[in-house]
Amino acid sequence: MGSPNNRGYKRSWRNLLLNTRYQLRFTLVMVGLSAVLMAVLGWWVMRAAEKATTVAMDAVLGVQCKAPERPGAEPTVVIDEPIVDPEADPDPDPDPEADADPDPDARPPVIVNIVEEKVPPPPVSVNAVARYHLCKIQQVSTIERLYRGEWRIFLVLVVSGLALCFGLAVYGIKMTHKVAGPLHKVGLYFAKMKANKYDTVYNLRKGDQLVDFYAHFKEAHEGMRKIETEDVEMLRDLIAAADAAKVGDSSPDAAKALDELREILKTKEDAIGP
Amino acid sequence: MAHSKHRHKHRRHLSNYILDKRLQLRYVAFVTILSALLSGVLGYLVWQQENSATQNIVNTLEASDYDADLKNEVVAELSGRDSNLVLVMLGAGIGMVLVLSLYLIVMTHKVAGPLYKVSKYFDEMAEGKLSEVWPLRKGDQLKDFYDKFKDMHDTLRARHVEEVAALGSFVEACEAAGIGGPGEFGHKLDEVKSYRAKRREQVA
């Protein structure tokens, strides 16, 4: 509970928009401006990120992973041991005329057994294979990391843009509410003053803005109330003196003016209360 | 214009844009911190990406058999680009803070301006004065609130003018009827006259 000058008003989300025009205009323009700035910044950031990603990818793909050298499995000719047939005719030519003069230097025929077979290549170095695959894996993972980085930037951009707009909207409404609240309160007192009611002016709620402004208003209210009080005192004295001097009996104009002063006095007494 | 001689022609000056420091700078501080935080995070991420690209190129270069001078030149160029990016990001952050802060100062000034004006009238009212209320400047906010204030002020002023007139009528009627003079009531009428003059001055 508040003190006599401090009524326990509590903030409620239902009355956050007290001065809709001022609050929404202020907040929406601020949010709109931030959204435009974020969009421009975001466009530039994404362009820079995309460029960086492309450059990095080109650099990664520009490196040729050294493939392990693996000789092909070529057919290999293997000559087996020659097989010499001792019983074979060294000159199998059936031409009898030729046999008439046999060559003394003629060698016995040799049967050559030619076997054609694929010989397995020499084993490739395990380290070379591992290096090759590691290089490829590194390339792929670097590219993936770059894409992930770009995607993360985009996500952060979208989330922070939304957070900025939402944060500014909430902050804008809340802050303008802290301004609109005192203004609303002062507006209610204005209506009372206009209706010639000078009630007690209560303090602002905790956290409200415009504390200095409100202090000025309180002084103004007090000043006007003081004038009303002085008027009441002056009119009471004047009417009492006029009644004592029987002014009403002396002149109808003075009597009429005195009645008017009595009405004014009554209004002023009602205005300041007991 | 009939009132042009008396009307105060307030113009916006750069020097009086901060009328209510507490109100205006609070907004600006909030937006500055938020924007700086945002630009910082985004800047760091972009820099990280750019740095990663640079590192890849540097790695490639180191593995190559290019001339050492050329390698150094390329590395220096890439480092320069990274630094430039940081500077551009810093510039973007500062730009964002500046634009938002300027908007907030202008907007809060448009709120603080009418409040400052009303406060001046309040000071007069505290002294019992009810001078004429002039309209707001073009572009000022809180028009509804100001209209309410003007309406109340005009009503009070009219009421006080009527009361001063009623007192005047009474004094004139008494004087016309020859009531007053040197007696007690005459003394009271003199008091009322000076009181009326004071009140008339207050609504001048």
Residues of A in contact with B34 (CB under 8 A): 164, 167-168
The pLDDT score that the predictor gives to residue B7 is 44
Domain boundary among B115, B142, B177: B115
**CA distances in angstroms from B121 to B10, B112, B131, B146, listed in the order given:** 15, 14, 8, 11
Residue A9: pLDDT above 60? Answer: no
- Distance from the Cα of A229 to chain B's closest Cα (Å) equals 12
Residue B154 or residue B140, greater confidence: B154
- Cα distances from B157 to residues A31, A220, A224, A271, B129, in angstroms, run 42, 14, 11, 15, 9
A166 vs B179, residue with greater confidence = A166
Give the total residue count for chain A. 274
Shortest distance between the Cα of B119 and any Cα of chain A, in A, equals: 6
Between residues A241 and B38, the one the model is more confident about:
A241
Looking at residue A239, its pLDDT comes to 93
Confidence category of residue B163, pLDDT binned at 50, 70, 90: very high
Q: Is it the case that residue A93 has pLDDT exceeding 60?
A: no
**B4 pLDDT exceeds 50?**
no
Distance from A135 to chain B by nearest Cα, in Å? 12
Contact B50 A250 (CB under 8 A): no
Choose, out of A194, A214, A259, the residue to mutate when testing the contact with B (most B CBs < 10 Å). A194
Is position B172 within any domain? yes
pLDDT of residue B1: 38
Q: Looking at this predicted complex, what is its ipTM?
A: 0.73
Residue contact A179–B23, C-beta within 8 A = yes
Residue B23 lies inside a defined structural domain of this protein = yes
Q: Of B79, B94, B115, which residue constitutes the final position of a domain?
A: B115
Distance CA A194, CA B201 (A): 21
Query: What is the tally of structural domains in chain B?
Result: 2
Of the listed ranges A16-20, B49-53, B126-130, the one predicted with least confidence:
A16-20
Same structural domain for residues B102 and B149? no
The count of other CB atoms within 10 Å of the CB of residue A182 is 20
pLDDT tops 90 at residue A228: yes
- Domain assignments of chain A as residue spans, ordered by start: 15-66+125-174, 75-118, 211-272
Residues B27, B110, single domain; the answer is yes
Q: What is the mean pLDDT of chain A?
A: 80
Q: Residue B101 falls within a domain, yes or no?
A: yes
B5 in a domain, yes or no?
no
Query: pLDDT at residue A1 above 50?
Result: no
Average pLDDT over residues A102-126: 67
Asked whether the beta carbons of residue B46 and residue A45 sit closer than 8 angstroms, the reply is yes
With an 8 Å Cβ cutoff, are A146 and B38 in contact? no
Q: Is B155 on the interface with A (CB under 8 A)?
A: yes
Residues of A in Cβ contact (< 8 Å) with B57: 55-56, 59
pTM of the predicted model as reported, rounded to 2 decimal places: 0.66
Higher pLDDT, A145 or B6: A145
Domain that holds residue B60: 17-115
Is B81 in CB contact (< 8 Å) with chain A? no
Q: Which of A160, A165, A209, A236 to mutate to test the interface with B (most CBs of B within 10 A)?
A: A160
Residues B21 and B110 in one domain: yes
Which residue is closest to B61 within chain A, CA to CA?
A59
**Domain finish residue from B85, B115, B145:** B115
Residues B74 and B138 in one domain: no
Report yes or no on B59 lying in a domain: yes
What average pLDDT score do residues A90-119 get?
61
Interface A-B: count of C-beta contacts within 8 A: 216
Same domain for B143 and B108: no
Spatial distance between the Cα atoms of A175 and B26, rounded to a whole number of angstroms: 10
**Distance (Å) of CA A185 to CA A5, A7, A91, A107, B121:** 14, 12, 137, 134, 18
Shared domain for B102 and B142, answered yes or no, is no
pLDDT tier for residue B204 given thresholds of 50, 70 and 90: confident
Mean pLDDT value across residues B163-181: 88
Which B positions 97-126 lie with beta carbon below 8 A of chain A?
A: 99-100, 103-104, 107, 111, 115, 118-119, 121-126
- A197-220 pLDDT tens trace: 998 899 988 888 888 899 999 999
Could you tell me if B34 and B70 lie in one domain?
yes
> Rounded mean pLDDT of A62-73?
71
Note the pLDDT of residue A111. Answer: 67
Mean predicted confidence (pLDDT) in A226-235: 93
Q: Once rounded to an integer, what is the mean pLDDT over residues A127-142? A: 86
For B120, residues 6+ apart whose C-beta sits below 8 A from its C-beta are: none
**The pLDDT of residue B19 is above 70:** no
Q: What single-letter amino acid sits at B64?
A: S
pLDDT single digits (tens) B96-146: 888 888 888 887 788 888 888 999 999 999 999 998 999 888 888 888 899
Chain B, 32-61: which have a CB under 8 Å from a chain A CB? 34-35, 38-39, 41-42, 45-46, 48-50, 52-53, 56-57, 59-60
Cα A120 to Cα A89: distance, rounded to the nearest angstrom: 40
Chosen from A210, A211, A236, A239 to mutate, greatest number of chain B CBs within 10 A? A210
C-alpha to C-alpha distance for A225 and A231, rounded to whole angstroms: 10
pLDDT at A117: 64
| Residue A117: its H or E element | strand A114-118
Nearest residue on chain B to A172, judged by CA atoms? B27
**Better pLDDT: A271 or B109:** A271
Decide if A22 and B126 are in contact by the 8 Å CB cutoff. Answer: no
Asked if pLDDT for residue A2 goes beyond 70, the answer is no
User: Hey, are the CB atoms on A245 and B34 less than 8 Å from each other?
Assistant: no
Are B106 and B136 within one domain? no
Other Cβ atoms less than 10 A from the Cβ of A197: the count is: 13
Cβ–Cβ contact B65 with A under 8 A: no
Same domain, B106 and B167: no
Examine residue B102 and state whether it is found in any structural domain, yes or no.
yes
pLDDT confidence of residue B14? 59
Q: If DSSP codes are grouped into helix, strand and coil, which group holds residue B172? A: helix
